[in-house]
Amino acid sequence: MAKGGLDGVVVADTVMSMVDGEQGELVIRGLPVEELAAAGRLEDAVALLWDGDRSTAGRWVEELGRARVRMWPTLEGSPALRVADAAVALRAGLAPLEGATPIELVAAAGLLVAGWSRARAGKPPLAPRADLPHAADLVRLLRGEPDDARAQALGAYLCTVVDHGMNASTFAARVVASTGSDATSAVVAAVGALKGPLHGGAPGPVLDMLDAIGSPERAEPWIRSELAAGRRIMGMGHRIYRVRDPRVAVLERAIEGLGRAGVATERLALARAVERAAERILAEAHPERPLKANVEFATAVLLDAVGADRAAFTGLFAAGRVVGWLAHVAEQRETGRLIRPESRYVGPTAA
Ligand code: COA
Report the separation in Å between the CA atom of 23 and the middle of ligand 1, taken as the mean of its atom positions. Answer: 19
Is any ligand 1 atom within 6 A of the Cβ of residue 235? yes
Share of the chain above pLDDT 90, in %: 86
Is any ligand 1 atom within 6 A of the Cβ of residue 114? no
In this structure, the number of other CB atoms found within 10 A of the CB of residue 351 comes to 3
Q: What is the pLDDT of residue 1?
A: 72
E strands of the chain, at which residues? 17-20, 25-28, 31-32
Coarse DSSP helix, strand, coil percentages of the chain, rounded to the nearest 5 percent: 60, 5, 35
- Where b means 16+ CB within 10 Å and e means fewer, 36-58 reads bbbbbbbbbbbbbbbeeebebbe
Report the separation in Å between the CA atom of 224 and the middle of ligand 1, taken as the mean of its atom positions. Answer: 16
Q: Please, are residues 190 and 321 in contact by the beta-carbon 8 Å criterion?
A: yes
- What tens digit of pLDDT does each residue of 287-328 get? 999 899 889 889 999 999 999 999 999 999 999 999 999 999
Report the separation in Å between the CA atom of 233 and the middle of ligand 1, taken as the mean of its atom positions. Answer: 8
Q: How many helices (H) and strands (E) does the chain have?
A: 15, 3
> Which residue of the set 63, 296, 328, 331 is catalytic?
296
Tell me, yes or no, if 266 is annotated catalytic: no
For ligand 1, pick from 166, 167, 245, 291 the residue to mutate: most ligand atoms within 8 Å of CB: 291
Element (H, E) at 84: none
Strands of 25-28's sheet, edge to edge?
A: 17-20, 25-28, 31-32
Tell me, yes or no, if 296 is annotated catalytic: yes
> Which residue of the set 238, 252, 275, 331 is catalytic?
238
Report the separation in Å between the CA atom of 24 and the middle of ligand 1, taken as the mean of its atom positions. Answer: 17
**Which amino acid is located at 165 in the chain?**
G
Is any ligand 1 atom within 6 A of the Cβ of residue 291? yes
pTM: 0.93
> Per-residue pLDDT for 16 more than 90?
yes
| Alpha carbon distance, N-terminus to C-terminus of the chain | 23
**Residues linked to residue 32 through DSSP beta bridges, in sequence order:** 27
- What tens digit of pLDDT does each residue of 127-181 get? 999 999 999 999 999 999 999 999 999 999 999 999 999 999 999 999 999 999 9
> Per-residue pLDDT for 3 more than 80?
no
Question: What's the CA gap between 87 and 89, in Å, rounded?
Answer: 5
According to DSSP, residue 261 is labeled: T
Indicate which residue's Cα is closest to atom 2 of ligand 1.
232
Report the separation in Å between the CA atom of 252 and the middle of ligand 1, taken as the mean of its atom positions. Answer: 23
Q: Please, are residues 151 and 139 in contact by the beta-carbon 8 Å criterion?
A: yes
Indicate which residue's Cα is closest to atom 45 of ligand 1.
198
